[in-house]
Structure 1
């Protein structure tokens, strides 16, 4: 049908113009608008509005079947958009499929049902650590979740006061696993998550298992209504790229377990009760994290915990940490005796080639409760008066660890009792576990390193706010260290500013003592060799060195 051509002049009113348009033309337009609500017409357009399949956005009607039907129709048509329009659409478990874009309109919300019977495990998702789920996909390709709307897990409805008990030494015994994760993706390829707001999961927010080509951009996560409220949780994924996200959660914000490879995280902000970047087990390699803001985070922002693992080639650059504990912990036992060990680990485990560049951190004395987390959280002794911890064990070494342009201000307040710890327990499962076993916190206020080969500190500045009786730096069985431009605040209450035990080939150049101290260096043990200070400003130390435990001046040159 041809529409009539109507000439319009500046003096023609809208009513007069409409009177010149033929009635059949308006009828055709109206018919087209009505047919857009018809499923067949929608399928032809590639947009599948869930209302066309019976969904109601009243926040009360259970829409699981209607929404799943829309997803199935979209996938069956070769792909397209499943539209979540304005409204609150209550649902149970949904399966996403290849070629489907779940599009959340700005006023649209998918709300998880508060009833356990409305959820199932994801079909094909491996069991373990709970796989009851709200939205999931298995072996899907070219799958997307987009739009500025919301996916709300209604997780407070599943709060029992009990977590999954997978923390240090718990091994999941008696844990609460019967609650839905918000999103699970298993063996998916080319997965994209853009702009969505994800909140209030009953368990982890996003779990990605063995996925490839993952692109996450502009996603906001607010997940603080239940225990084990992780943000991102990856297991053995490859080619993952996260950018421009904001994550506030209760547990690990970005956990990478298993064999994750070729991962980038950039331009994101994070806050949580526990850790931000947590790594453990498998063959985890080639990961770059940059331009991130971390605030009000306890349990160590960057935590690398390895049993029989192959971990190498990590970079952390341009990161600001404000009000944290930790702030960096690397633990390596070389055995499979902690909860981060994973199947498929290399026969010869290692942790090597880890660099930290452009770090600014302020470290508080102990965790501070988040006002928006409604349940109490245990504070571990080892979280108090924390420091950077590099902890290898027995004949297993951390290798090639570097810190460049790093400035950390600690709360201070450490005691002589802490400083006097000489026999540090061999614990590697959690960064703070070693200090829980030796209650009272670490013996250094700045950096503690044990069993490290190839340690580099370049332009590192360590300070405290409250007078601290501990050394700034403790090196125990460290080999091949180059420390240039170290700026450290001293204390007249501390026995020494530096402590070196049974270490060799340690070169300090251009060291600066910022405030007076009693002794520059305490050299301990009979196995020290090749310790040298070259240049710098050491005037503020009343005494340069004291020897104990069999150490002597033959191993030291200043």
Structure 2
């Protein structure tokens, strides 16, 4: 053994000792074959690298041959690292088959470029964490099993250019009622990464492939950074990309996500969240908000493509609140939707004769959005087909308050959207739109091709352009029971044979300025309902319209003033 107190070491002796060092595990980490039990003794004697040592999982018995189960070896390396005040657990080149592994405080799991952690195809190798509760609330109602999980831990990092492969196809059954090859299904399936009540989490630069469930699930955590991740999961119907629950101070950047279900779901009270410089594709939603209190959230500089559900979907149930949320600099190409905000039905949520507290949605902004909306097609590279609802085939931007619920202060600035068209006169004639604020498609085919807004107070449309790829008989914009709206610089296409370009129903206190009618129409604005009043049209180019306004369903001609 080298004497750490002997400062005068000959060059020959030093090189001899170094010849026995495993360089793959760090300069000061000697292999067990060289020093046997003296490996830890040497490290403890110097103490200079405490908390910074490297623990190669091969030194703990891992084979990496793609066949041998290496769960125990990986867990042993993590445990040793955690016990010695942290450091780096190294996954070197090789394919290491594992079941459930627990990551612990102060541990960095580094997966080398040619290293892969391969989730076992045997469902018996996975187990739930006793530290992660299951309940019906917003904590872990979807399951508490992870391929790699951490609970009540701090200072965790997963990094490297390697791969975590969940073999998710082994957890999908081709026949309903029959267990899949892995032998487990439902909430017993493992997530790629599962974090519960952790603080200071970093996951960066790794590839997450074919999860059996969601790829990254973060529950009740704080100070989370997810950077440069490559996520591919189209083998299970609910392959989510990111799924956040009740977490704060989270930052997602430079990630590429292609998944089958929600790409970035935020449930519970998610606050102080940024998502930037990412690309997303999915069958369902990209940004999915559901329940709880979501506030102080900024999404910017993202590309959304081939998304055949609804890229931005907010479902605010009674008792929930969504506030101060910004979406800016987004490009959406080949999507359906593309935006749906629903404020839940209060009466339907009453229990024991008590009416639930109404939900709140306010201060939501959309800035510099360019979107091409299409009719849905099969999701590329998905291993199974999807059926589409009529509301997905004929979609539009929907702001949907139900009963006495009002969305407040919703703004669209520099938003340009091209829609596929194809809407019929029968679809345009619908006035009784179902009062449902659930999934975006449940209201059926919206009667507008561009924007349908119901029960909104404080709506701003500034420099919004609505066009269609093929003729559509539906109005470009419908305001139904909207108060205090500013429509400035709206440019829209319509049809000469359509009823009108715009339709306002029981809507009041609206200023329309700098309106541009892009194609010939019979009527610019049809006003309906006796509660419609104080609507002003100030300037713009209406030269392609036969009439500026018409009135129906009890609306008074004095409700509109044309300057």
Q: TM-score, normalised by structure 1?
A: 0.90
SS in 2 for 1:177: helix
1:53-132 map, 5 Å: 53-127=60-134, 128-132=141-145
SS in 1 for 2:391: helix
Conserved? CA contact 1:271–1:297, under 8 Å: yes
Residues of 1 paired with 2:176 and 2:421: CA distance?
32
Residues of 2 paired with 1:42 and 1:550: CA distance?
87
Residues of 2 paired with 1:180 and 1:337: CA distance?
34
Q: In the alignment, which residue of structure 2 is the partner of 1:405?
A: 414
Deviation per residue, 1:138-197 (Å, 9 max, x gap): 011000101110111111111114899xxxxxxxxxx83231111110000000011111
CA displacement at 1:349 relative to structure 2 = 2.5
Conserved? CA contact 1:234–1:256, under 8 Å: yes
Give the 3 Å change call, closer, same or farther, for CA 336–224 of structure 1 in structure 2: farther
Give the 3 Å change call, closer, same or farther, for CA 42–330 of structure 1 in structure 2: farther
SS in 2 for 1:478: strand
Q: TM-score, normalised by structure 2?
A: 0.89
Give the 3 Å change call, closer, same or farther, for CA 31–401 of structure 1 in structure 2: same
Deviation per residue, 1:116-157 (Å, 9 max, x gap): 100001231122212222110001100010111011111111
Give the 3 Å change call, closer, same or farther, for CA 400–126 of structure 1 in structure 2: same
Q: In the alignment, which residue of structure 2 is the partner of 1:247?
A: 257
Give the 3 Å change call, closer, same or farther, for CA 247–337 of structure 1 in structure 2: farther
CA displacement at 1:26 relative to structure 2 = 4.2
SS in 1 for 2:20: helix
SS in 2 for 1:530: strand
Conserved? CA contact 1:334–1:350, under 8 Å: no
Residues of 2 paired with 1:370 and 1:211: CA distance?
32
Conserved? CA contact 2:457–2:485, under 8 Å: yes
1:359-438 map, 5 Å: 359-365=369-375, 367-435=376-444
Residues of 2 paired with 1:188 and 1:276: CA distance?
25
Question: Which residue of 33, 37, 61 corresponds with 2:31?
Answer: 37
1:248-287 map, 5 Å: 248-287=258-297
Conserved? CA contact 2:145–2:194, under 8 Å: no
Deviation per residue, 1:397-422 (Å, 9 max, x gap): 00000000000000111111110000
Deviation per residue, 1:190-231 (Å, 9 max, x gap): 000111111110111111000000011111111111110000
Give the 3 Å change call, closer, same or farther, for CA 91–371 of structure 1 in structure 2: same
Residues of 2 paired with 1:226 and 1:474: CA distance?
38
Aligned-residue Cα RMSD (Å) equals: 2.0
SS in 2 for 1:66: helix
Conserved? CA contact 1:499–1:522, under 8 Å: yes
SS in 2 for 1:98: coil
Task: Show structure 1 runs of 4+ deviating over 6 A.
Answer: none
Question: Which residue of 141, 148, 158 corresponds with 2:161?
Answer: 148
CA displacement at 1:299 relative to structure 2 = 1.0
Unmatched 5+ stretches in structure 2: 1-5, 24-28, 33-38, 135-140, 178-184
Unmatched 5+ stretches in structure 1: 6-21, 165-174, 436-440
Question: Which residue of 445, 468, 472 corresponds with 2:472?
Answer: 468
Residues of 1 paired with 2:544 and 2:474: CA distance?
17
SS in 2 for 1:247: strand
